[in-house]
């Protein structure tokens, strides 16, 4: 048996380990309030992600080798810098060039300045505006025109309606065998009332949007192997692979 086959077998076994899943869920619940995900940076910019999801995205980006990565939600820009760094590595190793497009309703001046000053900004474009308005959607679709391999990451407003609107707008741009990753689906798995200062929560989350979207879009499937591998993730049921 090859190492890859052994790895897949281990991942499947872990996915059936109920005790481990309970421990992982307990950690996720305990880590949300103290803002554990805010503790990390990538090449100097805060990334606001769990390290496990960063590793998963590294694997996906290397596997897909996208021409374009579309990201909704910019914040401090760490995710844009991460994606750009992966594309820079791919270009260095293979010669394949790629770019990142970030969309955010409010790109704060100090964040824009820091992102634009970063050495990897050469691979980044940004659009300011609501990701679900027709004019912004049109700009993103225009940018995607002619691209053969596209990866989509949705991580802005986490209400059901907004996440579903983003899925409808951008998931179709995902190329076959690539992914549309919907972050913060874990909101649905957290105790009710954990986000009292936010408009989202249990029953009104990115995960409910994913479930709704998949009812009518069988060209995508949830890649359960990623969740089983990570256990610690903000995106359970959120790694959507386009299969046709």
* 240 burial type by CB count under 10 A (0-12 exposed, 13-18 middle, 19+ buried): buried
For 44-54, b/e burial (b = at least 16 CB within 10 A) is: ebbbbbbebbe
Length of the chain: 244
Give the pair of three-digit tokens for residue 153.
């990451």
- What is the longest distance spanned by two Cα atoms in the chain? 54
Give the pair of three-digit tokens for residue 179.
């992914």
pLDDT digits over 10-68, tens only? 999 999 999 999 999 999 999 999 999 999 999 999 999 999 999 999 999 999 999 99
Residue among 177, 139, 137 at smallest CA distance from 154: 137
Residue 183 belongs to domain with CATH number: 3.40.50.150
Q: What is the C-alpha separation between 104 and 127, in angstroms, rounded?
A: 7
pLDDT digits over 69-117, tens only? 999 999 999 999 999 999 999 999 999 999 999 999 999 999 999 999 9
Angle at 127 between CA 124 and CA 130, to 5 degrees: 140
Q: What is the C-alpha separation between 151 and 55, in angstroms, rounded?
A: 16
Number of structural domains (the chain) is 1
Q: What is the C-alpha separation between 206 and 188, in angstroms, rounded?
A: 8
- What is the extent of the structural domain holding 58? 3-242
The overall pTM is greater than 0.85? yes
């Amino acid at each position: 048996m090859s190492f890859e086959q052994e790895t897949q077998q281990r991942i499947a076994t872990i996915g059936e380990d109920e005790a481990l899943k309970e421990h992982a869920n307990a950690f996720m619940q305990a880590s949300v309030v103290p803002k554990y995900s805010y503790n990390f940076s990538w090449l100097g910019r805060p990334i606001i992600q769990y390290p496990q999801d960063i590793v998963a995205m590294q694997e996906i980006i290397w596997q897909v080798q996208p021409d374009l990565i579309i990201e909704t939600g910019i914040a401090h820009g760490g995710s844009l810098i991460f994606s750009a760094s992966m594309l820079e590595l791919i270009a260095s190793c293979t010669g394949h060039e790629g770019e990142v497009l970030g969309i955010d309703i409010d790109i704060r001046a100090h964040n824009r300045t820091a992102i634009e000053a970063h050495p990897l900004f050469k691979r980044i474009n940004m659009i300011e505006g609501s990701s679900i308005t027709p004019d912004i959607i049109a700009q993103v679709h225009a940018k995607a025109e002619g691209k053969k391999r596209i990866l989509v990451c949705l991580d802005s407003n986490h209400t059901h309606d907004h996440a579903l609107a983003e899925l409808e707008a951008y998931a179709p741009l995902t190329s076959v065998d690539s992914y549309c990753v919907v972050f913060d689906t874990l909101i649905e798995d957290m105790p009710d009332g954990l986000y009292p200062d936010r408009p989202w929560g249990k029953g009104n989350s990115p995960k409910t949007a994913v479930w709704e979207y998949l009812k009518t879009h069988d060209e995508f499937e949830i890649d359960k192997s990623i969740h089983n591998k990570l256990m610690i993730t903000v995106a359970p049921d959120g790694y959507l692979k386009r299969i046709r």
